[in-house]
Amino acid sequence: MRESLTDDLRWRSAVDLVWTHYEDSEDWVVFHPQSGDVYLVTAAAHTLWSLIADGTAPTLKQLIPALAAALNRAPDDQLAAVTRDTLGFMDRAGLVRPISL
Amino acid sequence: MPSPSSPLACLATSGVQVAIGPFLVRVRSDLNGVHEYLHHLYGDFQVAAGEGGHFDIAVVSSRGVRRWVRPQANLVVNGERPFLPLPGKLAGAGFEWSLNWCVGNQAPRWVAVHAAVVERGGRALILSAESGAGKSTLCAALALNGWRLFSDEFALIDPDTGRLTPLPRPVSLKNASIEIIRGRGADVVFGPQGVDIEGARFVHMKPPVQSVRRGLEDARPAWVILPRWVTGRPTTLEPLPKAHALLRMTDQSFNYNHLGTKGFACVADLVRQCDCYTLEYSDLDDVLIRLESLASS
Amino acid sequence: MPHVNVAPDYEVLARVLRDPTTIDRLSPEAFSRALDAAQRARLLGWLVEQVRAGHVPAAPPEWLRDRLVTVDALTTGYERAVRWEIDRLRRAFLDTGQMWVLLKGAGYIAAGLPPGRGRRVADIDILVPRADLGRVEQILQDNGWEFPELNAYDNRYYREWMHELPPMVHRDRRSVVDVHHGILPRTSRLKPAPDRLLQQAETLGDGVRVLAPAHIVLHAAAHLFHDGEIAGAIRDLVDLDQLLRWFGRDERFWKRLVEETPAMDLARPLYYALRYSHRWFGTPVPDAVTAAMRTWAPPAPVRRLMDVLVDGAMMGTTGHSASASVFALYVRSHWLKMPPFLVVRHLLRKSLQRD
């Protein structure tokens, strides 16, 4: 994934995702009907997704502080790197998609 | 050799239909090995002469020289050949492997998860594990100890009701498991023993007659357990987060996504209904006691 | 002991193909054999469409009803898998400004054409300008597609002799993309110009491109009568019939087809396509087109030989003479692709590999 591409893009969620959560842990399972794939993700990753799914079409730059606030953590380099990686994973999985420039 | 009037007499001509769980399986074969295998291990099943069925399995000899010299068994499933030809002696096992391929890949009316299932008191226990972790041995031991065998290969989930449908079949046992299980019941019946491509000894255990007679009685799912035999390990049953159990179950199912969202929801709901655990053990008797107390709680 | 017959029942499939109402009168066992034969001929999607249109044996037993649920789910899954691959390609090419066009099965599915319904597609074929091959390789590699390990012989086969990129395999999904810069290999006798295909390509709602209707038909005709392997013969002709009926509802399509055929140097393949589609499926062809076809026809002896070969191919390999046709068709298509001295060497090498 080319670095500059990820920074400039605005993101939206894929449609028809099926998110499942059970009370006995913080993890989420998501089913993506378009691909037929299933993923196990952390609560933090689910939070990142919901910041995209709310329809505000954020960029990565906007997501980092928003995620930090939602997770009650400092928006430091480590968080930025993890956010970028998780966004990249979600992009490859098709859970989120960029809006064309 | 069975009499000409037995249903199996048609095996090499028009074929037979065997009722296995909810499936009608059409079988044809010109190999004695398959004849004997079905005669010994499917004696309690309904067998009739006929064509048609959910699956069409043919186990046939090769043409020409290979019909007689180092004879082979070719597996043809609804016109496809999912396997390379097998040595003729493995023909019976070839029938079972073909049936596994059918149930696992062909997206029937049920969601099929690769797992063993046993039932007690109307509630089903689903055992999901990698090959070699001892799942079949545990499943066979349970089936000989008060639990009804549903299947050692597949959990069949009805997406409309969420209940499990039995698929009683011979239980596949390898290497040391063979002796372990042989020693556990006077009425244990084994088919012919063989050696598979990887050099493992294997045998198929005839399913207990009650599991076949009650083959149309479904059950509601109650427990999902991921068992693992570990040398010297005391019986350890620990809660497994349901999200992890769900991932495991979908990972072990090749056909849930043929049913789309409905298939996924089916497995997600099953996990919701069940108590989920990991299980490590080394003493089979101790595990049976532990699981029996789980069932009565 | 008599030998168990495991050959697919292409005969019942052929009857159903020519007249889908046959299904209503078939026994459940015969229809089950038709399902099996359809799967082998990669026509299960087509057959499921007939079932959806209401063609089912009378009073089907439970096992057949269950089979119908199964094949419906299976073919829906096939289409879903292709649409996902197309989506991933869109993602890969997003904002690159790169021209790329979907061909064949993936194109049918993207454009919502009848032959796309429930279709099982092995590889996704795309067409790009020849000058952009390197750039396209790079874009695909950036997005997870890789070249598989090829031995030196196969590498040369693709890059030097066929002038194609080897197929690219996605590292996670194991799906395959075939990147083409022309619709026939460079060594072919016929020279359809790819520039014309690219210029006239049409853009669908989601930004994906497919060929213009006349070119879709011409490509299908070229594919069957140049590259066609025998197992695909039945499906390819069914595709052609469906495409011609679908596009043929608009008379402007026929006009374009007649113009584009000589422009693309594909007169002979299209002649065969129209002839055999009409012969086997009764495809309606306007008189004006039939007249134009005469100038595209081969000499009568060649035409008669092709009649035998295609009829044999359509009926599957059920007899000795049919097997000869299979071989003849295969050898012919290879000859069209490569200079003769290369053919013998290549066939020899391939047959050794199979053992």
Asked whether residue C136 is assigned to any structural domain, the reply reads yes
> What residues of chain A lie within 8 A of the CB of C76, using their CB?
none
Least confident of B138-142, C6-10, C239-243: C6-10
B111 touches B167 (CB < 8 A)? no
Q: Convert the pLDDT of each residue in C304-334 to its tens digit.
A: 877 877 777 666 543 333 333 443 444 444 4
Q: Residue C252, CB half-sphere, CA atoms under 13 Å: how many?
A: 2
Instruction: Please give the ipTM for the structure prediction.
Output: 0.92
Asked whether residue C21 is assigned to any structural domain, the reply reads yes
Asked whether residue C222 is assigned to any structural domain, the reply reads yes
Return the higher-pLDDT residue of C159 and C279.
Answer: C279
Give the long-range contacts of residues A68-75, CB within 8 A, separation 24 or more: A71/A44, A71/A47
Whether chain B has a CB inside 8 Å of the CB on A21: the answer is yes
**Does the structure show a pLDDT above 90 at A62?**
yes
- Compute CA distances B202 → B154, B199, B296, whole Å: 19, 9, 34
| Nearest-CA distance C197 → chain A (Å) | 26
Q: Does the beta-carbon distance from B54 to C4 stay under 8 Å?
A: no
**Does the structure show a pLDDT above 60 at B97?**
yes
pLDDT at B67: 80
Global confidence as pTM:
0.89
- Spell out the residues 6+ positions from residue C232 whose beta carbon is closer than 8 angstroms to its own: C42, C224
Give the domain range for residue C195: 10-354
Measure the CA–CA gap between C166 and C185, rounded to whole angstroms. 13
Number of domains in chain C: 1
**Does the structure show a pLDDT above 50 at C231?**
no
Q: Which of B32, B77, B160, B258 is best to mutate for the C interface (most C CBs within 10 A)?
A: B258
Q: Among partner residues C80, C87, C94, which is closest to A100 by beta-carbon distance?
A: C94
> What residues of chain C lie within 8 A of the CB of A95, using their CB?
none
Q: Does the beta-carbon distance from A94 to C94 stay under 8 Å?
A: no
Mean pLDDT value across residues C140-165: 81
Measure the CA–CA gap between B75 and B31, rounded to whole angstroms. 12
> B52: how many CB neighbours lie within 10 A of its CB?
20
Q: Does the beta-carbon distance from A34 to C81 stay under 8 Å?
A: no
Asked whether residue C5 is assigned to any structural domain, the reply reads no
Q: Convert the pLDDT of each residue in C195-230 to its tens digit.
A: 999 999 999 988 899 999 999 999 999 888 864 333
Give the long-range contacts of residues C333-338, CB within 8 A, separation 24 or more: C333/C226, C333/C227, C333/C228, C333/C229, C336/C188, C336/C189, C336/C190, C336/C226, C337/C162, C337/C185, C337/C187, C337/C188, C337/C226, C337/C227, C338/C161, C338/C185, C338/C187
Q: Does the beta-carbon distance from C84 to A98 stay under 8 Å?
A: no
pLDDT at C176: 96
Asked whether residue C4 is assigned to any structural domain, the reply reads no
- Domains of chain B with CATH codes: 7-105 (no CATH), 111-296 (3.40.50)
Mean pLDDT, chain A, whole residue set: 91
A·B CB contacts under 8 A: 49
| Nearest-CA distance A72 → chain C (Å) | 33
Measure the CA–CA gap between C235 and C117, rounded to whole angstroms. 13
CA C303 from centroid of its chain's CA atoms: 22
Mean pLDDT value across residues C16-44: 94
Nearest CA in chain A to B271: A22
The DSSP code sequence of C7-73 is: ---HHHHHHHHH-GGGGGGS-HHHHHHHHHHHHHTT-HHHHHHHHHTT---SS--HHHHHHHHHHHH
Task: For residue C101, name the pLDDT band (cuts at 50, 70, 90).
Answer: very high
Which residues in chain B (216-255) have CB-CB distances under 8 A to chain A?
239, 241-244, 246-247, 250-251
Task: Indicate the SS3 state at residue C284.
Answer: coil
| Nearest-CA distance C316 → chain B (Å) | 14
Mean pLDDT value across residues B27-45: 94
- Looking at chain B, the whole-number percentage of residues with pLDDT higher than 90 is 74
Q: Convert the pLDDT of each residue in B6-35 to its tens digit.
A: 778 889 988 999 999 999 999 999 998 999
> What residues of chain A lie within 8 A of the CB of C84, using their CB?
34-36, 94
Measure the CA–CA gap between B76 and B85, rounded to whole angstroms. 10
Q: Among partner residues B29, B52, B76, which is closest to C29 by beta-carbon distance?
A: B52
> Which tokens belong to B16?
């037979």
Q: Which of C78, C82, C87 is best to mutate for the A interface (most A CBs within 10 A)?
A: C87
The DSSP code sequence of chain A is: --HHHHHH-EEEEPSS-EEEE-TT-S-EEEEETTTTEEEEE-HHHHHHHHHHHTS---BHHHHHHHHHHHHT----HHHHHHHHHHHHHHHHHTSEEEEP-
pLDDT at C352: 45
> Which tokens belong to C321?
């003479």
> Which tokens belong to C154?
């196969």
> What residues of chain B lie within 8 A of the CB of A31, using their CB?
250, 261, 264, 268
| Nearest-CA distance A101 → chain C (Å) | 7
Mean pLDDT, chain C, whole residue set: 84
Q: Among partner residues B13, B29, B79, which is closest to C8 by beta-carbon distance?
A: B79
Mean pLDDT, chain B, whole residue set: 91
Measure the CA–CA gap between C203 and C110, rounded to whole angstroms. 11
Q: Does the beta-carbon distance from B76 to C29 stay under 8 Å?
A: no
Q: Does the beta-carbon distance from A38 to B251 stay under 8 Å?
A: yes
Task: For residue C345, name the pLDDT band (cuts at 50, 70, 90).
Answer: very low
Measure the CA–CA gap between B61 and B73, rounded to whole angstroms. 5
pLDDT at C334: 43
pLDDT at B172: 92
Asked whether residue C249 is assigned to any structural domain, the reply reads yes
C143 touches C91 (CB < 8 A)? yes
**Does the structure show a pLDDT above 90 at B252?**
no
Q: Does the beta-carbon distance from C87 to A1 stay under 8 Å?
A: no
Q: Which residues of A touch C (CB under 8 A)?
A: 1-2, 5, 33-36, 91-92, 94, 97-98, 100-101
Q: Which of A2, A4, A6, A92 is best to mutate for the C interface (most C CBs within 10 A)?
A: A92
Task: Indicate the SS3 state at residue C254.
Answer: helix
Asked whether residue C146 is assigned to any structural domain, the reply reads yes
CA B42 from centroid of its chain's CA atoms: 13
H/E element, B25: strand B23-29
CA C59 from centroid of its chain's CA atoms: 35
Measure the CA–CA gap between A26 and A41, rounded to whole angstroms. 9
Q: Convert the pLDDT of each residue in B58-96 to its tens digit.
A: 999 988 887 888 889 999 999 999 999 998 888 999 999
